[in-house]
Homo-oligomer: A and B are copies of this chain.
Amino acid sequence: MNTVITIGREFGSGGRELAKKIAARLGISYYDKEIVTEISKVTELSEEYIHSIIENNPPMILPFTEARSFYMSDTLSLQSNTVYAAQSDVIKKLAESSSCIIVGRCADYILRDINPMRIFVYSDDKSKIKRCRENASENEDLTDKQLLKKINGINKNRARYYRFYTNQKWGDIRNYDLCINTSDSEIDIIADAVVKMFKKEKVGE
């Protein structure tokens, strides 16, 4: 049976870096943006557009029965659902084909039947700002307040997207096996610890 880890992560928390490091230590595949490429092949929508649907233009939080047309066009709504369906297929196939780590994209929920190890990575505001400044030059002109607003906006969209498709709360402990606050921690040390927990438990050393 494949070893599958899903990592939900707040933007700016270092979750992507942690995922890469755990994957490298365990010697298993790592999927993040690769999923978007696969969805693009299936749906024939551009990668940029898919990324925008997933990260920036999630469906509004409204029951399906309400008039969504006020908030998003029928075309966008349809495409959002098409993208989610393709995303589910791609993620399930990846998890079936080999041991892997899948970052974001409701993978913990999509793969619930195979019981992956579900990790959520988060951090405090100060740490998020610091990480974003280190990793992206395009934020240079922003004040800390402006940058935090941008970060919080992205995370709000992620939470909304997760809630819409899973009917669960993003970052609620009930939906994860391990929730890690990276604020005062080195990602390398966390990766070592997670691997220790994971290897013995799921792979069996």
Contact = CB atoms under 8 A, between A and B. Distances in A.
Interface of A: 115, 120, 122, 171-174, 176-181, 183-186, 189-190, 192-194, 196-197, 200-201
Contacts of A174: 122
A115 B193 CA distance: 20
A9 B148 CA distance: 32
Nearest to A120: B173
A193 B183 CA distance: 19
A204 to B, nearest CB: 11
A198 to B, nearest CB: 8
Which secondary structure characterizes the binding site on chain A? mixed
A181 B177 contact: yes
A199 to B, nearest CB: 9
A186 B173 contact: no
A72 B137 CA distance: 58
A152 to B, nearest CB: 14
Contacts of A176: 179, 181
A173 B120 CA distance: 10
A181 B181 contact: no
26 contacts: A122-B173, A122-B174, A171-B173, A172-B173, A173-B173, A173-B179, A176-B179, A176-B181, A177-B180, A177-B183, A177-B184, A178-B178, A178-B180, A178-B181, A185-B201, A186-B201, A189-B196, A189-B197, A192-B196, A192-B197, A192-B200, A193-B193, A193-B194, A193-B196, A193-B197, A196-B196
